[in-house]
Structure 1
Amino acid sequence: MHAEAQEAADAVARQFAANAPAIDALVRRLKQAPPPFIVTCARGSSDHAATYGKYLFETTLGLVTASASPSVGSVYAVRPHLNGALFVAISQSGKSPDLVRNAEIAKAAGAIVVALVNVEDSPLAALADTVIPLRAGPETSVAATKSYLCSLAALLQFTARWSGDAKLLAAVDALPDALRAAWAQDWSPLVAGLVDARNLFVVGRGLGLGAAQEAALKFKETCGLHAEAFSSAEVKHGPMAIVGPGFPVLAFAQDDDTGSGTAAVAEEFRARGAPVWLTWPGATARDGVLPMPTSLHPAMTPLLAVQSFYKAVNALAVARGHNPDVPPHLNKVTETV
């Protein structure tokens, strides 16, 4: 897991160089026939990438983006009305039967099907109108790391080239080096603080919500640590009642209008006696604050936070006596129907 996560920057650079022609062709098609809305379909870490994609699409392109429940098509056999829509399926393996079935249904309903996959000869890639390869390379650890970051990077490059936003395009160019800087950050205080933890909240908001979801999943699967992800707004609607002394919180603050609210929630938890770690772009290490490099754009920020987090959670898993590469009861490819 450590070695694969460390490769993310090189994988992203490789992806950006190789995928530009295919993405530009897709963008030309979408500009000629703009979709009325976007639908994402994914599970696990890929669905956390889809959460990021939702906020990225809606804040940058102004297109309403919905997450399709795979069971609606594969189990309940519902045929949604998707004519002209953009259907984005995200899967590292491209083999999960329910995702493949939903992509088939979407295509038959008149949607443009785009597949973000790491395995380019997978069933999902075979039926897609456009394939955007993740190009993460081999990933043998059960816990997906570089393939997750490559999913976010593909969504970022796609959106930047579709929107033509100069700041977003600059962030794409800067991302590989920024990921290298994020990997170099020292989050050892988080590791030391969670060695004996049993429960944890991870909070983020907006573009950073998917990062919180991904972190909570990795805590569970690699460390045996029960962690739940919440929006820093939603956590105030009930869940925050259980936060107090001995209940740790990890908060990812964005460098946008959601950031101050996330920081305020973190401070409220700290005032109750909860162990709290907060991070945001450009933060320097100090008590309760985890360092992060500066981000050129809020859409880049979740990738930097997750890259720093992966190094820390791998170390935490080892410190807690777990093998992060082979979590109990899990397989690399989960084939749900």
Structure 2
Amino acid sequence: MTDSPAGRHISAEIDEQPAVFARLLAARAATSEVASVIARRRPRFALLAARGSSDHAALYAKYLIEVLLELPAGLVSPSTTTLYGARPDLGDVLLITVSQSGGSPDLVEVTERARAAGALTVAVTNTAESDLSGVAELGVDVQAGPEVAVAATKTYSATLLALYLLVDAVRGGSGEHAAALPDLAAETLADSVEPVAEAVRRWRFVDRVVTTGRGFSSATAAEAALKLAETSYLSARSYSGADLLHGPVAAVDEETAVLAVAGQGAGGTATSSVLDVVGSRGADVVAVGSAAHTLTASVHIGVPATAEEVAPVIEVLPVQRLALGLSVARGFDPDRPRGLNKVTKTR
């Protein structure tokens, strides 16, 4: 009896994403009901609590809330509640807790305490019967279905789409910019096979990776660094394009691999000048996104053009494929990253 092929679970879950998106769009009415409650309560600002990949989804939501709703938004430090016992006044505040498992004790405690302090609490999770869902006032199911691989793929992208549909509905939108995402996701997966394979060939023996993006795509860059670290054990760091130029670029040289994420829009335009500096230092650059071909890079992995605010939902797909391919090429099994479990419990 032979062992199962390395990465077969994560590969299947990456390929499942167009169907997951279609399922989420079909259930948009339930998300809109949650959004109507938020709109009626008229929060004065929003807070987001999350860990791991969900923290990157929360970063994406922060941009959505600040740009589309024009509300100030911030990322919570759970330890201020769980370790230090802080009890801020959260009256008229929206707290969105993002967790695919809904099982991390710190996120459950933060949500429970926030609700007691007056916040409107919303759990965004792939586990509707979780402890997190039990303590939150409202819940959004990301509809991704069971995820076997330890590294999150379909739960991450489904969470992005669920957050977009929620925020868009709060502002009275119809989700029109998301309607084509199932088809665009399938197109992205099909068209990215060859350029991803080329990127894997170039980066098989790299040791250091820097990922970068601006605006909405900064969440994709952060998720890319995590995926490369947890599946290929690379030293991977993520910086916004602006922060990269404020010091860390000094460490970039011809031994550095750089993954740049850029969609059409303000964020992608701002990334172009960053890549000019990075390229001049001899780094090997792989560019991903609908604006990838406008950037100076060794490999361009394009995705279909969309409204900028939904681009992260599909631009992360070739990034997931890159993480899978590199892990297998380097002799690892991305389904079973060493030292990691599917549900991480922290306090």
TM over 0.5: yes
Letter in 2 for 1:220: A
Q: What is the aligned partner in structure 1 of residue 273 from structure 2?
A: 264
1:171-214 per-position Cα deviation (integer Å, ceiling 9, x unaligned): 21111111111112131221111100001100011101111110
Letter in 1 for 2:342: K
1:143-184 per-position Cα deviation (integer Å, ceiling 9, x unaligned): 010000011010111122222346xx2221111111111112
Q: What is the aligned partner in structure 2 of residue 181 from structure 1?
A: 187
Deviation at 1:282, TM superposition (A): 5.8
Gaps of 5+ in 2: 1-9
Q: What is the aligned partner in structure 1 of residue 23 from structure 2?
A: 14
User: Does the CA contact (< 8 Å) of 2:35 and 2:167 recur in 1?
Assistant: no
Letter in 2 for 1:16: L
1:2-45 per-position Cα deviation (integer Å, ceiling 9, x unaligned): 11111112112112212x23222222222222000000000000
SS at 1:258 equivalent: helix
Question: 2: distance between equivalents of 1:287 and 1:239?
Answer: 19
User: Does the CA contact (< 8 Å) of 2:114 and 2:121 recur in 1?
Assistant: yes
Question: 1: distance between equivalents of 2:59 and 2:292?
Answer: 25
Question: 1: distance between equivalents of 2:120 and 2:154?
Answer: 27
User: Does the CA contact (< 8 Å) of 2:284 and 2:297 recur in 1?
Assistant: no
SS at 2:186 equivalent: helix
Q: State the TM-score, normalized to the length of structure 2.
A: 0.93
Question: 2: distance between equivalents of 1:172 and 1:258?
Answer: 19
Q: What is the aligned partner in structure 2 of residue 311 from structure 1?
A: 321
* Aligned pair partner of 1:329 in 314, 335, 339: 339
Deviation at 1:260, TM superposition (A): 2.2
User: Does the CA contact (< 8 Å) of 1:282 and 1:294 recur in 2?
Assistant: no
2:119 is the alignment partner of 1:108: no
* Aligned pair partner of 1:242 in 251, 271, 276: 251
User: Does the CA contact (< 8 Å) of 2:69 and 2:171 recur in 1?
Assistant: yes
Question: 2: distance between equivalents of 1:298 and 1:102?
Answer: 31
SS at 2:229 equivalent: helix
Counterpart mapping for 1:50-61 below 5 A: 50-61=58-69
Deviation at 1:284, TM superposition (A): 5.5
SS at 1:218 equivalent: helix
User: Does the CA contact (< 8 Å) of 2:261 and 2:287 recur in 1?
Assistant: yes
Question: 1: distance between equivalents of 2:181 and 2:336?
Answer: 29
Q: What is the aligned partner in structure 1 of residue 166 from structure 2?
A: 158
Q: State the TM-score, normalized to the length of structure 1.
A: 0.95
Paired residues in the alignment total 334
* Aligned pair partner of 1:2 in 8, 11, 19: 11
Q: 1:241/1:283 Cα in 2 relative to 1: closer, same or farther (>3 Å)?
A: closer
Question: 1: distance between equivalents of 2:297 and 2:270?
Answer: 20
Letter in 2 for 1:320: R
Gaps of 5+ in 1: none
Deviation at 1:123, TM superposition (A): 0.4
* Aligned pair partner of 2:218 in 182, 203, 209: 209
Cα RMSD (Å):
1.6
2:228 is the alignment partner of 1:219: yes
Q: What is the aligned partner in structure 1 of residue 311 from structure 2?
A: 301
2:279 is the alignment partner of 1:279: no
Question: 1: distance between equivalents of 2:238 and 2:151?
Answer: 17
2:324 is the alignment partner of 1:292: no
2:201 is the alignment partner of 1:192: yes
User: Does the CA contact (< 8 Å) of 1:202 and 1:213 recur in 2?
Assistant: yes
SS at 2:237 equivalent: strand
User: Does the CA contact (< 8 Å) of 2:286 and 2:298 recur in 1?
Assistant: yes
Question: 1: distance between equivalents of 2:109 and 2:297?
Answer: 49
Q: 1:81/1:37 Cα in 2 relative to 1: closer, same or farther (>3 Å)?
A: same
Question: 2: distance between equivalents of 1:109 and 1:206?
Answer: 31
User: Does the CA contact (< 8 Å) of 1:83 and 1:110 recur in 2?
Assistant: yes
User: Does the CA contact (< 8 Å) of 2:101 and 2:343 recur in 1?
Assistant: yes
Question: 1: distance between equivalents of 2:313 and 2:24?
Answer: 15
2:184 is the alignment partner of 1:172: no
Question: 2: distance between equivalents of 1:277 and 1:163?
Answer: 36
Letter in 2 for 1:63: L
Question: 1: distance between equivalents of 2:288 and 2:215?
Answer: 15
Letter in 1 for 2:331: G
User: Does the CA contact (< 8 Å) of 1:115 and 1:132 recur in 2?
Assistant: yes
SS at 1:248 equivalent: strand
Question: 2: distance between equivalents of 1:7 and 1:294?
Answer: 18
2:49 is the alignment partner of 1:37: no
Q: 1:229/1:287 Cα in 2 relative to 1: closer, same or farther (>3 Å)?
A: closer
1:251-309 per-position Cα deviation (integer Å, ceiling 9, x unaligned): 00132212222122112211221111123316569962423232220012112211111
Question: 2: distance between equivalents of 1:74 and 1:287?
Answer: 44
Q: What is the aligned partner in structure 2 of residue 69 from structure 1?
A: 77
SS at 1:251 equivalent: strand
User: Does the CA contact (< 8 Å) of 1:199 and 1:227 recur in 2?
Assistant: yes
